[in-house]
Structure 1
Amino acid sequence: MRISLRNRPFGVAATAAALALTALASPAAAAPASASGPAPATALAPASAAAAELAAPALPRPTGRYATGRDTLFLTDHTRTDAWVPAAGPRQLLVSLNYPARPGTGGDPAPYMAEEEARLMLAQRGLEDVVPPALVGTTRTHARTAARPAPGRFPLVLLSPGFGTPRATLTGLAEELASRGYVVATADHPYESTGTQLPDGRVLTCAACDKVDAQPDDAARREVLAAVSAGRADDFSFLLDRLTGPDPAWRHARTIDPHRVGMAGHSIGGNAASSTMAADRRVDAGVNMDGTFFDPAPVRGVDGRPFLMLGTGPGHGPGTDASWDDAWDRLDGFKRWLTVRDSGHFTFTDIPEIGEQLGIDDPDAPLSAARSTTITRSYVTAFFDRSLRGRPARLLNGPNPANPEVLFQHP
């Protein structure tokens, strides 16, 4: 059985923590959002029967030559107090590290998401009784825990998820990049996700989302979201120190080439890529996947370094988001502005794959999960291969008949 769900436009109040589930929101499943948050869902009558037929989703297998490993770091920055919950003390980060590994080494496949994280993500849209959290949480991955790293030194790519979105939703891209010879560090930013489960079992919820929702107008909300992006830049500078500094926190830090560093992010994580580049010259290239530049000023600080803007069409075509037009004019190095027809805000994450396997249709983003995955992997990898490895990237030269959905924008 399939459930037909429809994307709905959300105001900032809903985007705060519910953005992760845009692809899972529907008129049948949820009433329109209000300033106080989404209304409770109306139960779908066949949900329990449908759930009984479902199996845990599986992420697509990576296509690169390397097997992949996964480690997790829990880091504390004692130089900063958490901006959203000062009483919590120093800023902390939970980071997944995907890396090229020796085949046949390691233990079990790495977990996707804690069940409580999945429950909170679903509950934000009132869908925990429609989509079993255990199924989302046990989505099958391909990286192995405790795998031995492949020999050599590899470029580092930093990944930042959307606002209110767990880092797990970028796992498919992280595994793909690792299989292609990159070390990938994906961060959960504390109090900026529907739920982040710490190693001691505590679960942090989205205090930053509440801060955005409490603002009186769009201008005030944009100011808070700009602060989110700037705070993430501080997070990643700290993370770079801990991965590439003289006393690295990761046991396999020797596999990182600190002179080849890129960053990509989804939604506000894409804005954070430009903010991080402006604040930290160690980041050599950046990708914004469908994120508004809430503060376009950092784009000036990119200073000739390569930058890719990969967005939905028409949502992030010329003239549809003024911040992208402004950013394009300010970027003065190698740059590309690509939009993907028939896509949705979560096209560049794991959501299409998970939703499709759980029998969920999204008629407002008809691009298939397979095409979403292929396009995201192909263009992001091509960009980093060109920018961090100096390899030819013909895919970025112009339209390609194998990818008719991808439009090159030249405003």
Structure 2
Amino acid sequence: MRPLVAALSAAALCVGVVPPATAAPDPVGDAQHMADAYGRITGPGGQLRNPAYLPALVAASTQRTVDQLLTQVASPSRLALTAGNLVPGWNVGNPLRADWNGTRGRSRKVAFTNRYGALLRGTVYRPLKGARDPYTGRRLTGPFPGVVLTEGSVQGSEGMYAWLAQDLAERGYVVLTYDVQGQGTSETLPHQESPLHQDTLPFCDPTSPAADGEMTGCPGVPFQQLSNFVVGTEDALDFFTSTPRHHYPNAPIEGASGYTPYNPYWRGFDRSKDPTPTAPGRTTRIAIIGHSMGAAAVSKVQGTDRRVATVVALDKLAGPSSDGPLDGAGNKPVVPALAVQSEYGFTVSPWFLSGGSSLMPEPSPDGPDPHRERATGFDAWRAAGVDSMLVVPHASTHLDYTDIPLVLPASRYGQDLTSAYVQRWLDRYLKDRVAKPLLARSFRYLEPTSVDTWAPVRLHRDALLSSTYCSAYSITTGAGRRQDGDITHIGC
């Protein structure tokens, strides 16, 4: 690993200084800031201001709805009673990406059972054969590092995260997205041995004692529980690493069909036993990425699964002392972590309601605390001496990371900036490249502007990072020295 460039040192400031006094509120600026949180739909180039978007949405939603209906009809004993399966357009993602498969990369649908016998559905992505990196022009040659992406709760679905999977695949990664039990197109109920031994039908006994981490004796029910996402991540890692010689252990249910026995892109995944030097003791070059409750899940799994070399948490990284809806009790910082966190939750709130967390705001008569987003996980990783970075996009919301058509609020460039940082983070911690791009002041990003057109966008870091909550890093240089820095210089 080459030493960190001089730019890192120049940008480094002391992390942990007392934050400056909060400035008096600016009602006009606060109103504009809240308006910016609706930019993905209303902003320049947003969904309502791009004439190509709505026609593409109608076509893609219709096709996706029909495909999902036919899949469900063909699997009558695998009922997915979910918003992603039943609400047209819910799982479509960005319709302007409809032609991605076969033109910018490859994807294939997969299905595998979790440990409770429920059928989980997902998609694997990989680069096109002979393709070049769209940003550098470098020829992509495998095998490639792997990524497993776990969705958020409240009926998140894998289609909402195709943007990130596709961005990573066309830059040289094999990626798996999937729906946890009870969400998207995955089965709602588990399959356990029934009193009548009709194992082909979903069955569980809700009166039986709950297993560790489960809310009921019906495993995976209800869907809104952290254990679903932890189990999903662990089982998805098992499926991702499966091969023709080592099949994934799909539940042996009589008469069941439709399983994918192993990762169809297994050849493309780098199985070398020479792990990245930034994650000693880890056995493979795999990153796990999660959003919301998925972020809480990957924060846990990174501490226990030796296959994981790095973790990316999209609102929010959960450290050992985190509490609230994304409980991190017992989490141990082990591998390098990138935390991309938001200024707002599912709704926007004014300056004087910025206390608590973005997901559970509370009154804040003294205004926002610049350290608020550090406390959930970044501080714990830094204290443990494990490489970490915290990025808070401007006017970002909890929905920035889910590509949902015509759903507010979400900032105009939060998703673009997130992808740019995730790409650079994984380049460093899975491909052992230098850290300089992590501290660049601008990034080039390719956005789909119509079904067959992608246009470059220049992302200027300082304008697109929060000026309210600090973004920071704590990274070990090639010489083994630690560099701490305040990216936006607002008193981090």
TM class by shorter chain equals 0.5 to 0.7
Task: Tell me which of 325, 328, 343 is aligned to 1:296.
Answer: 328
Name the aligned partner's letter for residue 436 of structure 2: R
Q: Map of 1:220-239 to 2, 5 A cutoff?
A: 225-239=225-239
Match of residue 271 from structure 1: 296
Give, in whole Å, the separation in 2 of the partners of 1:251 and 1:52.
33
| Aligned-residue offset at 1:306 | 1.0
1:332 aligns with 2:385: yes
| Aligned-residue offset at 1:309 | 0.6
Name the aligned partner's letter for residue 311 of structure 1: Q
Q: 1:176 to 1:392 in 2, by over 3 A?
A: same
TM-score between the two structures when normalised by the length of structure 1: 0.57
Q: 1:320 to 1:287 in 2, by over 3 A?
A: closer
Per-residue deviation, residues 344-371 of structure 1 (Å, max 9, x unmatched): 11112322xx32xxxx6x4x54x22xx2
Match of residue 35 from structure 1: none
Match of residue 389 from structure 1: 431
| Aligned-residue offset at 1:299 | 3.4
Match of residue 97 from structure 1: 124
Q: 1:346 to 1:319 in 2, by over 3 A?
A: same
Give, in whole Å, the separation in 1 of the partners of 2:421 and 2:244.
27
| Aligned-residue offset at 1:74 | 1.1
Give, in whole Å, the separation in 2 of the partners of 1:195 and 1:185.
15
Give, in whole Å, the separation in 2 of the partners of 1:100 and 1:152.
9
Per-residue deviation, residues 179-207 of structure 1 (Å, max 9, x unmatched): 0010000121111x155379xxx9x9xxx
Task: Tell me which of 425, 438, 460 is aligned to 1:402.
Answer: 460
Q: 1:398 to 1:176 in 2, by over 3 A?
A: closer
Match of residue 14 from structure 1: none
CA contact (8 A) 1:93 1:235 kept: no
CA contact (8 A) 2:174 2:265 kept: no
Name the aligned partner's letter for residue 150 of structure 2: S
Q: Which structure has greater helix proportion?
A: 1
Name the aligned partner's letter for residue 415 of structure 2: T
Q: Map of 1:50-129 to 2, 5 A cutoff?
A: 55-56=58-59, 58-59=95-96, 67-77=104-114, 80-81=115-116, 90-102=117-129
CA contact (8 A) 1:159 1:263 kept: yes
Per-residue deviation, residues 346-397 of structure 1 (Å, max 9, x unmatched): 112322xx32xxxx6x4x54x22xx233212201101101110011243423
Match of residue 341 from structure 2: 311
Match of residue 266 from structure 2: 253
Give, in whole Å, the separation in 2 of the partners of 1:271 and 1:181.
26
Match of residue 373 from structure 1: 415
Stretch deviating more after TM superposition (327-336 or 90-99)? 327-336
Q: 1:327 to 1:61 in 2, by over 3 A?
A: farther
Give, in whole Å, the separation in 2 of the partners of 1:330 and 1:280.
21
Q: Secondary structure at the match of 2:303?
A: helix
Give, in whole Å, the separation in 2 of the partners of 1:61 and 1:98.
14
Q: 1:102 to 1:53 in 2, by over 3 A?
A: closer
Name the aligned partner's letter for residue 125 of structure 2: N
Per-residue deviation, residues 280-300 of structure 1 (Å, max 9, x unmatched): 111100000013633324531
Q: 1:312 to 1:170 in 2, by over 3 A?
A: same
Match of residue 15 from structure 1: none
Match of residue 153 from structure 1: 143
| Aligned-residue offset at 1:238 | 2.6
CA contact (8 A) 2:381 2:387 kept: no
| Aligned-residue offset at 1:326 | 5.9
Stretches of structure 2 that go unaligned for 5 or more consecutive residues are 1-33, 35-39, 42-53, 60-93, 132-139, 189-199, 216-223, 249-261, 272-283, 319-325, 345-357, 360-369, 443-458, 473-485, 487-491
1:165 aligns with 2:156: yes
Give, in whole Å, the separation in 1 of the partners of 2:165 and 2:417.
15
Give, in whole Å, the separation in 2 of the partners of 1:245 and 1:196.
26
TM-score between the two structures when normalised by the length of structure 2: 0.48
1:285 aligns with 2:310: yes
Per-residue deviation, residues 161-194 of structure 1 (Å, max 9, x unmatched): 1012111110111111110010000121111x15
Q: Secondary structure at the match of 1:173?
A: helix
Q: 1:197 to 1:69 in 2, by over 3 A?
A: farther
Matched positions, count:
276
Stretches of structure 1 that go unaligned for 5 or more consecutive residues are 1-6, 8-22, 25-50, 82-89, 105-149, 216-223
| Aligned-residue offset at 1:230 | 3.0
Q: Secondary structure at the match of 2:145?
A: strand
Q: Which structure has greater strand proportion?
A: 1
Stretch deviating more after TM superposition (282-291 or 309-318)? 309-318
Q: 1:186 to 1:313 in 2, by over 3 A?
A: same
